[in-house]
Amino acid sequence: MIKKARHANLALTTAIALSMSVGSVLAHGVVDQSNLTTGGAQLILVHQPIGQEFTPAVSTLVGVDIVFRGSSTPGSDTVTVNIRHRDISSPILATTSRFVDQCPFVPPYNCIEHFDFPSPVTVIPGDTYVIEVQVTMPIHAWQGGPGDYPGGAKIIQGVRRPELPDYGFQTYHSTDNELEICLEDLGVCESDLAECTTSSTVCRDDLAQAGEDAAVCVSDLEEGRSGLQEILRLLNLPPGQRWSNYACTGELCEETTAAINRLLGPAGQGSRRGERERGGRR
């Protein structure tokens, strides 16, 4: 889980330029919530408003998969996917549409179709959101096989049906935004360290929190959300360079420094260290 450092009582300058967009890690993002099903289905057209609730674990949503059931009705139709907060009648937060061909009426009788949203949607982890699917013809059926997705219920004709198996779906989040948050944490942490004096208790608390957040953040990256190259680029560190400008004291900060240096890999020649320190932070 990504944590974002909050330091309202400190005047901060972010040491690292963070406004650039970070390169895409995966074309479709990374799966957050998943309920892939193989059982029965409901024809979407006759069950609208039809939807599936989900509970994101992370703060971004960039796309969804919808699992359609094999249909004996040939053709294709425009499928619209809307995201709403808490209730299927609430305002649309994001929408996307595209043609989807009939899911073939042959084994395994299901098709996973991906829908990307035009831009990342910011969501609140732990809150309930609704994926609504709209069609215009009786071609597509939404797979709602056996099994319970614990983070929400299906919605049929506008009514929550928690007693029924959930519809098949997956949600995707962006590692890009999370990486930016992570880098921001690291930058805030370093700014705090630069600006604080040891006489301030508030400051020391903030430093501890910032160090903890940054450690969590680095640990997330180590778990596979690759952002190492971006970190190296933003820190202007070549591979093999140490994190040498981290004027940090205390156990948490030491852990964070160690975590960053683990990310940076084995120590290199360090030829740019002096140059970097003379130049100061950007």
Tell me the closest approach of the beta carbon of residue 131 to Ca ion, in angstroms: 13
Q: How far is the CB of 67 from Ca ion (least distance, A)?
A: 15
CB of 169 to Ca ion, least distance (A): 11
Q: Which is nearer to Ca ion, 170 or 177 (CB)?
A: 170
Which two three-digit tokens encode residue 274? 């002096």
Q: Let me know: does 256 contact 189? Beta carbons within 8 Å.
A: yes
Output the smallest distance, CB 149 to Ca ion, in A: 5
Closer residue to Ca ion (CB): 33 or 209: 33
The smaller minimum CB distance to Ca ion, of residues 42 and 102, is found at 42
* Spatial CA neighbour of 95 closest among 150, 59, 132: 132
Q: Which is nearer to Ca ion, 109 or 149 (CB)?
A: 149
Distance of closest approach, residue 36 Cβ to Ca ion, in angstroms:
14
Which residue, 86 or 233, is less far from Ca ion as judged by CB? 86
Strand partners, 131: 52, 83
CA distances from 139 to 34, 41, 72, 75, 145 (A): 24, 12, 8, 7, 18
CB of 166 to Ca ion, least distance (A): 4
d(CA 169, CA 171): 7
Interface residue list for Ca ion (CB under 5 A) = 148-149, 153, 166
* Choice between 158 and 238, CB closer to Ca ion: 158
